Each structure stands twice: as structure tokens, then as C-alpha cells.
Amino acid sequence: MTKHNDIIVTNKRHWEKMVKEGCGFTRPWLELDANLISQYVKGQLNPVPEPLLVMYPSSVLADVESKDVLCLAAGGGQQSVVFSLLGAHVTVVDLAEGQLRGDQKAATHYGYEIDTIQGDMRDLSCVGDKSFDLVYGTGMSYVPDVKQVYSEVAGVLRTGGKYRVNFTNPATEFVDCDDWDGEGYRITRPYTERIRRLEDGPIEFRHTLSSIFNGLLALGLSIKHVQEAPYYYQHVQAAPGSWEHWLTYVPGFAIVARKD
């Protein structure tokens, strides 16, 4: 059995390495402006330019001015920029110190204030008694049990607050770019396989649809919206085996739930 501390140490090391290598998820978004983001929220951008394509569904960006937003396991100076430029008070919790430096770099670049906290999304005691109107969560493939995160999120959400979280489609959780066989991306691992540890890489977990959805309902959260990742129609001309091409075949999805 993979221990809690082993998961933390291994995945933290992976993401600190990604920061040093300049992985796309670790590079701050330093060329955005509030007007462009506002147009996206209003549905006035077609097609939606990257990187805003990552911020779906756009409804979670509406009416966040002066609201308290937690970007959970979403460090790197990306999602926090969008919410901050829309006038939200943003806190970022991320396992990797390097990722949080990206959020601070973006805050300095744009001239807003932000709170960054290094911590595990399975334990939000690090934010103290602070409550949030919105939790924007990512990175669920790095935790073994969604209920651990859900419970913590429910505890820091205000009544009426929303929780946005995204997942890879469980059926294709362990399908990678190098699984392209000339016609498609092959599923080679059985659905019963729940954990994968890559050599010199992270420890990843597959969650079932039952646990993903029922875990939210069990905590009294109501599911308000579900949307597939919009990447699948943006990169149809990408080269087979590339990250962009992979996204057109195995899109994930996001859930928006509310604490009633």
C-alpha cells in the first residue's frame, strides 16, 4: 500500500522538477488583461484563445469581484491570475513551493495581492478559519481518495459557495501520448487498475465515476453543472502523439457543485 507521506514526497518532487523544466502548467500567464477575460465570461470570444480555454466552465468566473476564491492544487500563476484580474481575493494552496512562486511572480507583475500557502489539498487546516465563496480545484489524479479532498473543501466553503473540480475521464485515466498506435490512443490497462507509479514520475490514481459524483452528493453538495473539457475541438489538426492531439481524443470534464 502506498503511504500518505510517500504520495506527498513523490508528487511534490515531481512538480518541483516540472517547475525547473518549465512545464506548461508551471509558467505564469503574464499576458492577460481583465477586458479579455470579461469578454470570455460574457461568451464574446469565439474561438476561445489559450490559455483561457483551460478555465472552464466560464460560468465559475462570473460575479467573483470582491469574493474569496481558493485555487486548490492550482499553483503556477495561471488560474489565480484570472480570478485576481476579475477582482477576487485569491488564496492558492499547492504542494510545490515552485508553483507558488509562479503565483507570486504573477501578482508582482500585475500589481495585486495574493495569499500563497504550501500544503496538501487533503488537509486544509492550513487556511485556518478562512471561508471561501468559490474553490477552484485541479490535480485530483494525485490523491487516492476523492472524499479526502471533498470533505476538506466542504469545510471551507461558505453556504451557497461553489466548488469547481476537474477530472480525466476514468476510462482513459492512464492513456498517454505515447499510446498512439497510428489510428488511436490505446487503452491497455484494465479499469480495475486504480494506481500507477511512473518511473521517476508521480504517483497517479484513477477514480470511478461513482466515487467522483456520489462523493459530492454524500457531503450534501448539489451538482449544478458538468462540462467536458473544450480542448477536443480546438486541436484537431495537431500532430498525432502530441499533447494537443491527445487532448482531442481523451478530454476530461469539470463539475460545479454548490454547498446548500
Residue pLDDT, tens place only, 114-170: 999 999 999 999 998 889 999 999 999 999 999 999 999 999 999 999 999 999 999
CA atoms of 248 and 90, how far apart (whole Å): 31
Query: What is the number of structural domains in the chain?
Result: 1
pLDDT at 1: 45
Convert the pLDDT of each residue in 177-193 to its tens digit: 999 999 999 999 999 99
Give the type of residue at 188.
Answer: T
Check which CATH number belongs to the domain holding 217 and give it.
Answer: 3.40.50.150
What cell numbers appear for 48 in the block? 476561445
Distance, in Å, from the CA atom of 42 to the CA atom of 53, rounded to the nearest integer, reads: 14
Q: Report CA-CA distances (Å) from 155 to 25, 136, 232.
A: 27, 14, 34
Query: Cell numbers 480570478 label which residue?
Result: 83
- Beta strands 89-94 and 68-72 are parallel
CA count, 13 A, side-chain hemisphere, 22: 0
Report the amino acid identity of residue 260: D
Q: How far is CA 111 from CA 11, 54, 82, 124, in A?
A: 31, 23, 13, 27
d(CA 242, CA 129): 43
- For residue 77, is pLDDT > 60? yes
pLDDT score of 59 more than 60: yes
pLDDT band at 241 (very low <50, low <70, confident <90, very high): very high
Residue 3 in this model has a pLDDT that exceeds 80? no
**β-pairing verdict for 221-228 and 253-259:** antiparallel
For residue 147, give its domain range: 4-259
Q: Is pLDDT of 2 > 70? A: no
Residue from 201, 171, 204 nearest 188 by CA: 171
Element (H, E) at 115: strand 115-118
Asked if 184 and 177 touch (Cβ cutoff 8 Å), the reply is no
Residue 44 makes CB contacts below 8 A (sequence gap 6+) with none
Count Cβ atoms below 10 Å from residue 69 Cβ, excluding itself: 26
47 or 216: which leads in pLDDT: 216
pTM across the whole model: 0.95
Percent of the chain with pLDDT over 90: 87
Kindly state the percentage of the chain with pLDDT values over 70: 98
Q: How far apart are CA 231 and CA 252, in angstroms?
A: 9
Average pLDDT estimate for 204-229: 97
